[in-house]
């Protein structure tokens, strides 16, 4: 049931009628909580979490050079060493009991948000009939 609701909301988010935009705008928190629940369940199933870190990788590229004055030859291209950020995920130890408590809290919050979403969806359907 939860997955069907999530898929239905995701399908509504992709469309662009005023009614769908209203529903999408007013159910954003519910979708965020659904994503966090899925992440927390995955952490508990694996026994660890993932954290995203940024590392910097060196690479060679052509440097920008100033334009020579009129009549002077264009200098040959020059290579420079640059850095680019790369995001990588690595395993991270978690407290499984704390993660389970967090998941319980998220599920309670989801129930509350789902009740509110029903009211908001009904209001959006009245305000923007299709």
Provide the pLDDT for residue 5. Answer: 56
Provide the pLDDT for residue 3. Answer: 54
Provide the pLDDT for residue 48. Answer: 97
* Separation CA 4–CA 34 (nearest Å): 12
pLDDT, one tens digit per residue, over 79-107 is 999 999 999 999 999 999 999 999 999 99
Low-confidence ranges of the chain (pLDDT < 50): 12
The 8 Å CB, 24+ separation contacts for 92-97 are: 92/48, 92/49, 92/50, 92/51, 93/48, 93/49, 94/43, 94/48, 94/49, 96/44, 96/47
Provide the pLDDT for residue 99. Answer: 97
* Separation CA 29–CA 16 (nearest Å): 19
Provide the pLDDT for residue 2. Answer: 55
- Give the domain extent around 97: 2-127
Map 3-55 to HEC letters.
HHHHHHHHHHHHCCCHHHHHHHHHCHHHHHHHHHHHHHHHHHHHCCEEEEEEE
52 C-beta neighbours (distance < 10 Å), count: 9
Q: Count structural domains, the chain.
A: 1
Provide the pLDDT for residue 66. Answer: 86
Provide the pLDDT for residue 12. Answer: 45
Provide the pLDDT for residue 64. Answer: 87
């Amino acid at each position: 049931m939860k997955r069907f609701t999530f898929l239905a909301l995701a399908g509504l988010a992709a469309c662009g009628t005023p009614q769908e935009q209203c529903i999408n705008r007013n159910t954003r928190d519910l979708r965020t909580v659904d994503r966090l629940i899925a992440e927390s369940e995955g952490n508990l199933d694996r026994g660890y979490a993932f954290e995203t870190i940024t590392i910097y990788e060196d690479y060679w590229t052509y440097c920008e050079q100033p334009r020579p004055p009129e009549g002077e030859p264009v200098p040959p291209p020059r290579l420079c060493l640059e850095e680019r950020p790369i995001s990588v995920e690595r395993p991270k130890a978690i407290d499984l009991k704390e993660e389970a408590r967090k998941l319980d809290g998220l599920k309670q919050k989801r129930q509350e948000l789902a009740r509110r979403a029903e009211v908001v969806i009904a209001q959006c359907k009245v305000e923007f009939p299709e």
